[in-house]
Amino acid sequence: MLSRCSYKTQLLLLSMCALMLPASWSFADRGDRETPLVRAVANCRTAVVNLRGRKTVNSDHSRLSSDTVKQVNGMGTGVIIDSRGYVLTNYHVVEGVKQIQVTMADRQKTTAQLIAHDPATDLAILKLKTDQPLETIEIGTSSDLMLAETVAAVGNAYGYEHTVTVGIISQLGRTVQVNDDQIYRNLIQTDAPINPGNSGGPLLNLEGKMIGINVAVRIGAQGIAFAIPANDAMEVASELMKNVGAQAVTHGIITKTIYDEHQPKLVIDKISPGSPAAAMDLSSGDVITRINEMDACRCLDLQCALIDCQPTSQLRLDVVQDGGARQVQLVLQENTQKTSRIGWTPLGLSVTPASEIEMANRHPNYKRGLRIINVRKGSPAEIEGILEGDILVAMHGWKTETVENLEYILQQPDVKSRKDFMFYILREQEPFWGQMRIASASQKR
């Protein structure tokens, strides 16, 4: 007949069992448990961030001064793609969020700013507030994925930070329509559990490389979730990174990413005549393998290398040309399309032409515009509620498609005499209007 052991007896038995174990075995030995999946998640963990924020919905979308009628808690995930704190995530995670709160893998907290976004693909770039270089996600390729291949999702599921779930690739090339305005194409289907908060996080392979951005789940279904393929996401990220800092330099290189046996290569597609690249005898078909001290294999790598560059800065390019390797010192020139401060003194804002991808699907009446880069405190622009990232599309009865348009408007006699004039902006996809006059002497300081 069995009887219960006392607590002291249990401790004594456990101690005796430990003494009887082989000398080569210990409770701390995890060798058999450290599977490729465990290593994959561990290697990417510090490059994944958790996002939170509150979204504001206005009762009247026609004016900037609309009263707030509803606030909604939002959460999601992002991946660090540049060590200076640039993060890729889904646009729907941060759309309408005024203050994006970020939790790092080590539980440190910071904030992020929305830098650029593309509603059509539901991707966005954020800039974390950080003084330290950060670990970046290792990017894989999505062109060689296999059905039933093991994958893992990492994300802020229901607010549970850095949650890991595992599954397989169920199918490739899916088209999914989530509403009248949003259609995703060429998605990866997986049965790795994806929950609210996972959006924007990485889908990993067993090598620990990101092969997708988790984006959606089929409501009411079991084990049906979707991710944007990494190859597609990196091309969009490259376009979005062109907006970072309104780059003040030009080089004359138009690149494309090609996949040679599923491995990405950064290839020169075209060279602008008379550009710095043309002067260095670079040509279509050349392959760029390194930029300064960093390996390069995607268009994104070139855009990241340009972020902090100034006119006369140099890029050292390692190039494969006609089967041979050469190194080029590329001297950058001033970009005439850089940020314009023509409106800084009179209005308190600086602008740059919005890219085609920024304007795509924003509004049927506006195909071009000027993106607001900076807003001066106490200026007419700030008083009227204009924010960085807004697109100025019209002012005083004229469209503001170019910097020259804005300059012309500011020279009009009634504008210069400080009479009120109308302006129109797009904030994400919503149009707003307001009235403004150029700055007084005290506002110009």
pLDDT on residue 356: 73
Q: How many CA atoms lie within 13 A of 240 on its CB side?
A: 28
Sign of CA dihedral 310, 125, 167, 156: positive
pLDDT on residue 174: 95
User: Is 92 one of the catalytic residues?
Assistant: yes
pLDDT on residue 21: 43
β-pairing, 202-204 with 294-295? unpaired
Catalytic residue among 82, 92, 340, 350: 92
pLDDT on residue 61: 42
Give the chain's residues under pLDDT 70: 1-31, 56-72, 245-248, 335-339, 357, 441-445
Catalytic residue among 82, 118, 122, 232: 122
Distance separating alpha carbons of residues 78 and 213, to the nearest angstrom: 9
pLDDT on residue 248: 67
Q: Which domains does the chain have, with CATH numbers?
A: 42-128 (2.40.10.10), 150-230 (2.40.10.10), 247-334 (2.30.42.10), 344-436 (2.30.42.10)
pLDDT on residue 63: 41
pLDDT on residue 66: 40
User: Is 67 one of the catalytic residues?
Assistant: no
Distance separating alpha carbons of residues 381 and 385, to the nearest angstrom: 6
Sign of CA dihedral 398, 403, 408, 414: positive
What CA–CA distances, in Å, run from 335 to 243, 254, 303, 311, 353? 13, 15, 14, 8, 12
Distance separating alpha carbons of residues 208 and 350, to the nearest angstrom: 41
As to burial, measured by CB atoms within 10 angstroms (0-12 exposed, 13-18 middle, 19+ buried), residue 377 is exposed
Rounded (10°) CA dihedral 409, 410, 412, 418: 130
pLDDT on residue 7: 43
Distance separating alpha carbons of residues 115 and 79, to the nearest angstrom: 15
pLDDT on residue 323: 81
User: Is 199 one of the catalytic residues?
Assistant: yes
Distance separating alpha carbons of residues 84 and 76, to the nearest angstrom: 21
pLDDT on residue 337: 59
As to burial, measured by CB atoms within 10 angstroms (0-12 exposed, 13-18 middle, 19+ buried), residue 423 is buried
Catalytic residue among 117, 142, 162, 199: 199
